Amino acid sequence: MGRATARECVAPGLVVAPGEVLVATEIGDPARGLLPCPAAPLVGGLLHRRGLRVRYAPVPQSGDAAQSGSGAALFVTTTLHRDGTATAIGAAADNVDGLAMAAARGAVEEWSAVTGTRRLLGAASPWCPGARQALRAARQAAATGTVYVCGQLMASPQDCAELEKDGAVFVSSLSDIPNEATVLIPAHGAPPAVRAEAAERGLAVIDATCPLVAGVQAECRHFAERGDQVVMIGQDGLAVLPSIMGEAPGRAILAETRAGAGAVQVTDPRRVSYLLAPGVPVEDTAVATAALRSRFPALRGPDPDGFCYAASDRAETVRTMAASCDMVLVLGHEDDADTRHLTHLVRSSRAKANVIADPAEILPSWLVGTSAIGLAESTCAPPALAGQVTGALSGLGPLSVTRRVVSTEVTGRQPG
């Protein structure tokens, strides 16, 4: 990946305004025909950061700069791919605008200098199967009429906005829903009191509760019915907590995962059970579980077959992927909690992490010396962003795209 020199051409008939740089989305090459320019967002982003006014457009024709004729100055390099096809990187400027021409040439050369063969490793979707199933149910319901989504739907802001356009209404409580309307219970479920009120008011309920959450709800109810106090090991603020702890009103206690269970107070130390909150990595609950067992030797716990491993698998997937990469692009926003969590996971595997919300934010310097790049999607990232980043990077040379997923499979109890 040595320093590349952009070839200067002329783009006959192309007009570029003074002070502007036109970034090519495709270029007509005399020998190869029309070449796509997938890396155009990368070139445009670099120019925009340098204060240039940027426009994206195709350049239908290009020719030798030495030939006479009017047209803009075009700077271009091409990259060959394994299948014999080629892509181009190009930018054009008015041929008497020296500053814009220098900027166009510089941007093309900087990106050309980091072309080469690479691997792109994608991590798993940020959404667990239960969340995806609930989103599908919401889409199906919205397609047939107005549906009220009671509580937080685990989906990207973009997916939620699309649902609202299709007729979904997001509410925080049943009091915001008219009688006999249709209400969807999201993946994190709802407490018994909410379900009872919905039935009382004649609401048509679409229950999209995750099966694993429903299983924990049933265990909580069972523990409470036999007279136990139930300690929920989790993190304050999780959307799933009210629906589970609501199964044991007055008998459920939250123990913060990282703070341990030293402060838990119970009425009868012989009648204590514990549960793990879905959405929390199972391994993060080990310290709190051990503390409870040491304090309450008669402690009864959940059926391990019903543990939710989605958060554990996602964290381990990101760590494993990052350990195989030179640099990881974390898709999201710096001020988002999930983005920060992913960044921490990447750096804990000793890989470089760069947060982006748009392909145009990628810098050429990040790719110097890289042969493997990772992608980690936060829950705030637009669903299309991973594909956009992949497409842009494909314009820098042959790109092998793979997906790495760590998955825990519960195979059931073994005889013994």
d(CA 356, CA 267): 50
Q: Where are the beta strands (DSSP E) in 264-326?
A: 272-276
Assess if CATH 3.40.1010.20 describes domain 121-125+310-403. yes
Pairing of β 7-12 and β 63-64: antiparallel
The tokens describing 394, both together, are 């494909």
Q: Which residues of the chain have pLDDT under 50?
A: 1-2
* CATH number assigned to the domain with residue range 129-209, chosen from the 4 options 3.40.50.11270, 3.40.50.720, 1.10.10.10, 3.20.20.70: 3.40.50.11270
Q: Is 84 left (phi over 0), alpha (psi -120 to 50) or beta?
A: left
Provide φ and ψ at 142, rounded to 5°.
-65, -25
Fold (CATH) for 212-306: Cobalt-precorrin-4 Transmethylase; domain 1 (3.40.1010)
Extents of the domains making up the chain? 7-114, 121-125+310-403, 129-209, 212-306
Number of H helices, E strands in the chain: 11, 19
CB distance 92 to 74 below 8 Å = yes
The pLDDT assigned to 9 comes to 92
Query: Quick check: do 121-125+310-403 and 129-209 share a fold?
Result: no
The pLDDT assigned to 2 comes to 45
Residues near 281 by Cβ (< 8 Å), separated by ≥ 6?
311, 312, 315
The pLDDT assigned to 266 comes to 87
The pLDDT assigned to 415 comes to 58
The pLDDT assigned to 262 comes to 72
